[in-house]
Amino acid sequence: METRLDCAIKASNQLVTTLHRDGLDNGCVTTFNDSLVIRQNFTDDENRLHRSLNSLRNAAAGETRLYDSIYDVVVGIFRRKANRTRPWILVVVTDGDDNCSTRSARQCAQEVYRLFTNEESNFLFVVGVGSGVNSSKLQEMANVGRFEYIHVKDFLLLEVALITLAHKVTTSLSLSVNALSVGNVSASWAEVQEHRKLSNVAIDYGLLIDMSTSMNEISSRAQCFEGHDLRKYRLGPWICDVCGKNGPTEMSEYHCPKCDFNACHSHCVSGSPCKPTSSCPNKHPMRYVNKKDPWRCDEDKKLYTGKRLRCDRCDYDICPNCLIEAERADRALAYLMASLLLRD
């Protein structure tokens, strides 16, 4: 089983592979828990960066000194050692709320803006993963410090977050970054890498990775309706079995090969089965199916083609119109039962 730290290392390695061009770009690796540790100073050697990242496994311990560590990287590494003629990019990955910094969130944000992000060519991305981060506080920091805060539901989606910011960086000559949407990624790592190879902009970039105790926790996978683990898989065009929407890319982040099941990330949480939006009369979860063959709705008995909700256990199919009517009836019944209980 992968820990949170394993997922962070994997995603960070992929980011380095995609962004880095030996002899042109400089990268560095730093980590934090109770204190900041420089794992690799700025280097143009990609292999050194990968070795540094891979050495982090099984080494998480301690508290979460987030704000002071961001400040230390900005002042002690970028301001002192980075090439000031280049764009600077700092990517921070954390899974928890700060609990041992000497400066406040606002103080950190103000210093980051004064020393780093006030330059239009410099960018800071803070990626908060899971339910342990204080997203409201980090978003307030981002507003004050003029940087991007990205919240990701679980570590299995961290690669999606990093490919999103990499895509924004590499496809803009000015490195101008607009609002990021983790659920709307249109590029693959290979496509981002190709853009990066063609770019004439050399960068200095840094990774700051949380190494506190919570990063040792297992990042368990989401599951399909039948309880099988879901994994990332390149399918080509696909639809979400939960909501019926078309997949945003050819990569399904939540795929079950046993059930041929796919889901959007908004329906899935690590360690739990994906939540269905509808169930059949026998209360089994129904899946969206998209096949060209004609099919008959079990409610209105009419023939249809295209997407439908289906329960394989009961061999039950329902069209969208009948589904809406059934859900209205269920809500009306629930309201009636609640009213009777209140009356009693």
For 271, the domain range is 220-275
Judge if 73 and 40 occupy the same domain.
Answer: yes
Same domain, 257 and 166: no
Considering the domain architecture, whether residues 40 and 152 belong to the same structural domain is answered as yes
Identify the sign of the CA torsion 226, 229, 235, 238: positive
298-307 contacts at long range (C-beta below 8 A, 24 or more positions apart): 299/325, 299/326, 307/239, 307/244
In this structure, the answer to whether residues 313 and 266 fall within a common structural domain is: no
Neighbours of 131 (CB within 10 A): 11
Domain end point (choices 247, 275, 303): 275
- Using DSSP's 3-state secondary structure scheme, residue 66 falls into helix
- 196 and 70, same structural domain? yes
Bridge-based pairing state of the strands 26-32 and 36-43: antiparallel
231 and 124 fall within a common domain: no
Whether 176 shows a pLDDT value over 60: the answer reads no
141 and 180 in a single domain? The answer is yes
pLDDT for 200 equals: 81
207 and 114, same domain (yes or no): yes
- Which of 42-56, 264-278, 280-294, 303-317 shows the lowest mean pLDDT across its residues? 264-278
Total-model pTM: 0.72
For residue 110, is pLDDT > 90? yes
What pLDDT was estimated at residue 190?
Answer: 83
Question: Letter for the amino acid at 238?
Answer: W
Q: Which of 239, 257, 275 is the last residue of a domain?
A: 275
**Owner of token pair 């639809």:** 239
158, 3 contact by CB (below 8 A): no
Cα–Cα distance between 121 and 89 in angstroms, integer? 9
Same domain, 126 and 246: no
* Residues 170 and 201 placed together within one structural domain of the fold: yes
Round the CA-based radius of gyration of the chain to a whole number and report it: 24
In terms of domains, do 264 and 294 share one?
Answer: no
In angstroms, the CA 256 to CA 231 distance is 7
pLDDT band at 234 (very low <50, low <70, confident <90, very high): confident
- Asked if 181 and 45 sit in the same domain, the reply is yes
